[in-house]
Amino acid sequence: MKALIFVALLLISSSFSTEKNATGALQVATPTPEVIVPVAEVHQVKRVMRVEKKRQQVIRLAKKAQKVDVRDEVQRMDSKLKIGLFLLAVGAVLSIVGIGLVGGIAALIGLCFTIIGLLHTF
């Protein structure tokens, strides 16, 4: 019985070794050759990446500074000018809604405050 099993295994293993057509089941992909990059190019790529990161940081800081400048400009305005601009906006909204008389009065008072605020500012 042992001899029969041995012969069967021998026949099965010999059939794999004489097979000339690849079935695809046991195919192994050939390794791709590695591309050797010179060290100078690697350093240049790293330097470009660092420069790009710095440029993005500068852009972000410039945008933050721009926002701060606008906020400071509003805070530095004269209080009468702020009141005048607010009353002008309220007058325009009231006129659009349909309360024209009250909107006109608010806009007129807002115009006066705006002129006084501009005189104080400049």
Tell me the pLDDT tens digit for each residue of 84-114: 988 899 998 888 888 888 888 898 899 998 9
pTM over 0.75: no
Q: What is the pLDDT of residues 62-84, one digit of tens each?
A: 887 777 666 666 677 778 888 89
List, for residues 8-50, the tens digit of each pLDDT value. 776 676 555 545 555 555 566 666 666 666 667 777 778 888 8
Q: State the sign of the Cα–Cα–Cα–Cα dihedral 4, 9, 12, 18.
A: negative
Sequence spans of domains, the chain:
38-76, 77-122
CB–CB of 113/79 below 8 Å?
no
**Token pair in block for residue 31:** 């390794």
Short-list 109, 36, 121, CA closest to 75 = 121
